Amino acid sequence: MFEVYLPIAELSVNLLVIVGIGAAVGFLSGMFGVGGGFLITPLLIFMGIPPSVAVATGVNQIVGASVAGAVTQWRLGNVDLKMGFVLLAGGFTGSFAGVLLFRLLLELGQADLAISVCYIIMLGTVGSLMLVESLQAMRKSRQPVVLTRRRTQHNWIHGLPLKMRFHRSKLYISAIPAFGIGAFVGILAAVMGVGGGFLMVPAMIYLLRMPTNVVVGTSLFQIIFVASGVTVMHAFLNQTVDVVLALMLMLGGVLGVQYGGSAGRKLKGEQLRALLALLVLGVCVRLVILQALPPDEHFSLARPL
């Protein structure tokens, strides 16, 4: 009754299920403060959507969420435009290289396997680190607070050339690390359909030493344009963007994100990170099981008689 045919994925799906997936990811995005790209792509793969289509189409979800978040941060004055443009330069370079790599994998017939393996490695690593950190934070929260004087330390980044002054972030550092972070996130966006905020934000805080309040807005600013560029390149070069699927996901995402924010305010930060880590590890385990199962159809390199 609610079956909808996806022209690019070349299969029929239930409208309510796809909208529900978008709503669930939107709810988690509002609850945990993440873009949700690293969750929506595996969920679409579980639904039988080809990984190449899931990656290219899932990026649309990131664009919508990033625009809404960036507008809010811009009004609060939490966007460093100069840093954002350096990240953006790296992001466009990385995303272009990533789309070409994605196209090569499609031509070799290895795109689906490469995407699944990358997700297993990424989700397993990120989920494990988040779970350990959140458990340590919850243990420390039960201990008495000891005030210590914070020392400002310079790391190896301050010795690099091509230094620029970023007034909003109050930094005078090399543009090379920021360009590199943007390029790496651009590759992730093209190959895995993720915004990369869950990696970019810690890198900007701990490597570039940017103020936390400026990091979120600047990261969202960069993700908007990189994710949009990746979507356009996938559509024209690889023809893997399914507009019908993207619209259904956006509809669900808009509905879910409204309730996720309210739910997230009822939990502590370390509790949220622990729940997200368990969710990420659960998706990782499901992907491992999916790859370990024997295929429905067996292939042979032998010539037919």
Range of the domain at 93: 3-139+157-290
pLDDT reported for residue 150: 47
Report pLDDT digits (tens) over 59-91. Answer: 776 776 667 667 777 887 878 888 889 888 998
Q: Which residues are paired to 4 by β-bridges?
A: 13
Q: Tell me 172's DSSP state.
A: E
- Asked if residue 148 is part of any domain, the answer here is no
- Asked if residue 299 is part of any domain, the answer here is no
- Is 36 within 8 Å of 26 (Cβ atoms)? yes
Residues 61, 57: Cα–Cα separation, whole Å: 8
Contacts for 15 with CB less than 8 Å, ≥ 6 apart: 2, 3, 4, 248
- Asked if residue 221 is part of any domain, the answer here is yes
- Asked if residue 225 is part of any domain, the answer here is yes
- Asked if residue 115 is part of any domain, the answer here is yes
- Asked if residue 297 is part of any domain, the answer here is no
Report pLDDT digits (tens) over 212-237. Answer: 778 777 887 887 888 788 878 877 87
Contacts for 60 with CB less than 8 Å, ≥ 6 apart: 227, 231, 241, 246, 249, 250
Report pLDDT digits (tens) over 148-161. Answer: 554 545 566 666 77
Residues 175, 9: Cα–Cα separation, whole Å: 40
**CA quadruple 123, 126, 132, 138: dihedral sign:** negative
Contacts for 75 with CB less than 8 Å, ≥ 6 apart: none
- Asked if residue 304 is part of any domain, the answer here is no
pLDDT reported for residue 146: 53
- Asked if residue 298 is part of any domain, the answer here is no
**Residue 31: alpha-carbon gap to chain centroid:** 15
Alpha helices in 33-80 (DSSP H): 37-46, 51-75
Residues of the chain with pLDDT under 50: 147, 150, 152, 299-302, 304-305
> How many domains does the chain contain in total?
1
What are 115's two structure tokens? 């995407």
Q: What angle do CA 73, 130, 277 make, to 5 degrees?
A: 90
Other C-beta atoms within 10 Å of 203: how many?
20
